[in-house]
Structure 1
């Protein structure tokens, strides 16, 4: 009942702000086409040819929309692959491929079976794994890039040893001149797995890029600028108005905003209409401080000027107006590295506007905002940064790298424990989830162009708890002929145990086996609890915990001005006082 009431209120707020969320964009369109035959025929006549890419990732409303638009005398062309459907958790349904075949029995299927990215060894590895899924279109994939190197499967003693091998192997291949640092991608099933890999990179003083942090269009300054721009095309948008009316600070308090909103809500007014009423009708000023009235009317004056400018200005000009006329540049703070970084982000947004939306006018601004709202989830991977990337398998979709190393290839991680447990509780649902996990593994493998490494660890759970791990069931499906020689011998010696598919990297009390150059010895300083230390960035603090790990130590320090921080002892810039 609470959810239903909240949803009803949510829909009311959307209507009041002339807004549709992403679900509504589909649902309202589908319902409109279903109800209105004339409207449906008009769009069927307008779009004689429909092309749908990534069809395996469509959900049911999207599938219904395609059916409604595909008229009987038109043509429909879809590109899709059930083997790459990995977004079931957000509504995608790969079974739409089969539904399409049944809905259009005359559909002609063309199999694209030549792989222009990967070597045959990598393609055969991917085929061996995905062929065990039941609901799919069989394909005989061939690689155009030659046979290539065998796939390397490695077993490490722990996740730290696994990460140590990853970084050592990257160093070895780069030192040999075979690859550059930017040619490598380290992939994992869950974000929590990045910890060990990141620490290994830090120990080796190697740069890396973590993909999946705060994305460009989610950064505060970008959302602020976009909110200002939305007010120029949707003056009834209370959400955008309340976000920016005090950015920079204009002395308009929460009480004043609430008073204005309540008065406007009783008459169904948007923020622009409310400010006009406030300016023209002095009775509206009751309950507001004089300072708030002056600030709100001043905001309206700037809004009016920039609105007039929007009719003939480019999007880039309007971004400049946000910085100058609305004085948003003041909100970025005093000269500092952080302020400069935020300004650079706004400059990057402006560059997008200059490049893609050079035509002046309000229509161009509306198109720009629509494009931003629908931007792809895989955010900008900055060009020219020479460093390996760390990312989840979901984030890797659509990308490619010369060398791919997938860590955590063990039961409970890939496949995820949720899918494994569901097999016992609900076999049909568990099988569906397990097949999606297999597809996720397939997607990760097929990101590799020249080299592929699949790694798993014998002990240690993803959150550091003690456990003995079983290799992923997907490793058993690899054809023997795609494995490196050592891996084949290991598999032959213990064919009934999945762990025999790999070569140990380390055991308790021994250093991990490097792939080439020996791992650099790192001196780990020791600290006493209660000892006073000074950090180059965080200032003075007191050690409250020191915990040795296999290759390093965690030191926890309570800093006077920065709170409690947990640091790696080998690399933390700490000095004893």
Structure 2
């Protein structure tokens, strides 16, 4: 198992006595080390696969880890605790929703809906949004949660500005608690509080999950590190893999100092440095080493390669952005003229706005290209509209979902009517759906508005009754058809309309292909609950970018 690993990788895989910190430089094979560590624990140390938790930062990385572990071990990895911090936190909260003080069918709130809710609550409080911007309030709330702070734990309340931000946090959190909504930042905070407030449950998981592997440790924030420390306790075996030289997410709460705190917080920490690079040439590594050596408080390592020096690095200092785009595209043309393939060429830029000039010059040169990144599938408006109907079917008390589609497609329910429903909900401390029922019962709204709201609620109720025993794919198709979303989007310009309709078809395909993960099944979730959570977690990976 270890024969094709270098000496440092072998040490990282097989060292078991005490906490282990692996400093893994770029391209040094850290994923291979993590997978082989899993295999070593199971096949050599005879640790149960159910006693190991492996945590990473993206769904893609977690999926790759699970797939590679399954291939190496030749056993199913479905039951193993392999996932993102937020995915595993979500799994715990689904399994222990009552102990966590949540509604059984709680929904995950994505960044866009979170912003809309905060903006509306600020307006309802009579605050000037120019002075109290919703985006800044969203950043403040999420940052406090990343620090593990509830409103009551935030100090400096004598400062009027801080007091107002805390007040907005309180109002927002009360709204989410009433509506059964959990935002992305709250997943980890609630998972931490779950163990903090339930010592017997914590002891159960400490005894069950005896080996913890953490990837990209340099990107952990305060609550994630606190969560790790709580699970590991004093007896757990933990391996963390990270690179302080690759810490770039400080602006969204990541604390690279956690790598230094690891040595402070655990006794007899062993450190293994993975410095041999398998990805780059000597010249690239020499330049990288020289540049990063200027950083202060590094844990220290020096990347090297067994390969040659390679081509020298070229640096061109452009006069302006137009000159930069011209230079890059001319070099691509020269590359292609030598018979090389366009797919072997990449342009990397710092911000999305910079792509425009590169695209313009590529078009002039008649060079085909593809832009990667941009809006994710589950973040698209038409996808979120369809999913909002499904969320309402799953949980009628989901205020964010109801507000999103109560007048999509247009059905004669204007902002005045929605404001009446919100007022009733706030005064009665009820979810929007129940407040609407009260408004209809008490004839609070004009007859036309009452009829429109009643028709919408009847539509959702009918879909829920009709689709109770349908497959997930048929439920998705039924929602799209009964809500008339396609007809709604057909009114838009042709190119935009075709894209939206095609995306809705793909959503049906995704629902038909969805397989209920074993961990969700064990948590008591049905196909619909699991699919909606999966979609929210996928969209949530860009949460941090949305705060910027």
Find the partner of 1:364 among 527, 530, 543: 527
Larger mean Cα displacement after TM superposition, 168-177 or 252-261? 252-261
Verify: 1:328 aligned to 2:485, yes or no. yes
Q: CA 1:165–1:54 in structure 2 vs 1: closer, same or farther (change >3 Å)?
A: same
Shift of 1:170: 1.0
Shift of 1:332: 1.2
Find the partner of 1:12 among 162, 174, 179: 174
Match of 2:538 in 1: 375
Match of 2:218 in 1: 56
TM-score, normalization by structure 1: 0.59
Structure exhibiting the larger radius of gyration computed from Cα positions: 1
Instruction: Note if contact 1:232-1:310 (Cα within 8 Å) is conserved in structure 2.
Output: no
Larger mean Cα displacement after TM superposition, 155-164 or 317-326? 155-164
Summarize the alignment of residues 78-157 of structure 1 with structure 2, pairs less than 5 Å apart.
78-143=240-305, 146-157=308-319
Verify: 1:270 aligned to 2:427, yes or no. no
Verify: 1:305 aligned to 2:462, yes or no. yes
Distance 2:260 2:359 in 1: 42
Distance 2:204 2:419 in 1: 45
Shift of 1:250: 1.3
Per-residue CA distance 1:304-330 (angstroms, 9 max, x = gap): 233345654443222212211222222
Distance 2:294 2:379 in 1: 39
Distance 2:304 2:513 in 1: 39
Shift of 1:377: 7.2
Distance 1:350 1:106 in 2: 53
SS state at 2:254 partner: coil
Per-residue CA distance 1:111-166 (angstroms, 9 max, x = gap): 22332322333223222222222322323423366543221122333332222110
Distance 2:375 2:307 in 1: 36
Distance 2:431 2:513 in 1: 33
Shift of 1:16: 1.9
Q: CA 1:188–1:377 in structure 2 vs 1: closer, same or farther (change >3 Å)?
A: farther
SS state at 1:98 partner: helix
Q: CA 1:20–1:144 in structure 2 vs 1: closer, same or farther (change >3 Å)?
A: farther
Shift of 1:76: 1.6
Instruction: Note if contact 2:378-2:539 (Cα within 8 Å) is conserved in structure 1.
Output: no
Q: CA 1:117–1:5 in structure 2 vs 1: closer, same or farther (change >3 Å)?
A: same
Match of 2:499 in 1: 341
Query: Which structure shows the higher helix fraction?
Result: 2
Distance 1:305 1:189 in 2: 49
Instruction: Note if contact 1:278-1:297 (Cα within 8 Å) is conserved in structure 2.
Output: no
Shift of 1:87: 0.5
Match of 2:420 in 1: 259
Verify: 1:166 aligned to 2:328, yes or no. yes
SS state at 2:538 partner: coil
Distance 2:539 2:302 in 1: 30
Summarize the alignment of residues 142-541 of structure 1 with structure 2, pairs less than 5 Å apart.
142-143=304-305, 146-178=308-340, 180-277=341-438, 281=441, 284-289=442-447, 291-308=448-465, 311-334=468-491, 336-357=494-515, 363-375=526-538
Distance 2:429 2:319 in 1: 65
Q: CA 1:158–1:257 in structure 2 vs 1: closer, same or farther (change >3 Å)?
A: closer
Match of 2:120 in 1: none
Distance 1:145 1:312 in 2: 60
Find the partner of 1:71 among 229, 233, 237: 233
Paired positions, count? 376
TM-align CA RMSD:
2.9
Q: CA 1:143–1:346 in structure 2 vs 1: closer, same or farther (change >3 Å)?
A: farther
Distance 1:304 1:377 in 2: 29
Per-residue CA distance 1:202-253 (angstroms, 9 max, x = gap): 3323333444544433321122122222213332111210110111111122
Distance 2:423 2:282 in 1: 66
SS state at 2:270 partner: coil
